[in-house]
Structure 1
Amino acid sequence: MKFFLKCDEAVHVCDKSQYNEASFFEKLKLKMHILICALCRGHAKRNTKLTETINAANIKTLLPEEKEQLKSRLQQEIKNNPQA
């Protein structure tokens, strides 16, 4: 088992870590790689900033039922007004 990651592997683990999908050992290897690689360290910082920004936005989406209702209403409107 290798302990050091290549940059492309480090980027992949960094992305997995962002979504809490990386294992403890993957995170450990990523931290070791980031200590020596400035490019991946920059990627990790940008990834962290992106995650924080998205979480701070507190974006609300429609529920699946609401989407279906909206879709049905739009289809009905199109059906009733084909020239509009």
Structure 2
Amino acid sequence: MRMQCKCGEILSNSMAPNDIQLRVYTDREWDDIINMGEIDSINIPHPKIDVWRCPKCERVYVFEYGNHKAIKVYKLEE
């Protein structure tokens, strides 16, 4: 996926690894993953929330997993 940040920077998660997309799990999601037993990169589910951070202005975009439209946008105050 690709999008333009409000500051003009082009953000993309098409390359892996990348510095745009963050893996953010709630404590409950992470607890469920830990309790699955044997963990490897194949059976770790995607988080329910997808988070992107702009490297230029540091805005944070929050998406519901699989949705291409941000549900929240955060901008640093200071």
Is the TM-score greater than 0.5?
Answer: no
Which structure features the higher share of helix residues? Answer: 1
Q: Into which bin does the TM-score normalised by the smaller protein fall? A: under 0.3
Which structure features the higher share of strand residues? Answer: 2
TM-score for the superposition, normalised by structure 1: 0.20
> Rg larger in 1 or in 2?
1
TM-score for the superposition, normalised by structure 2: 0.21
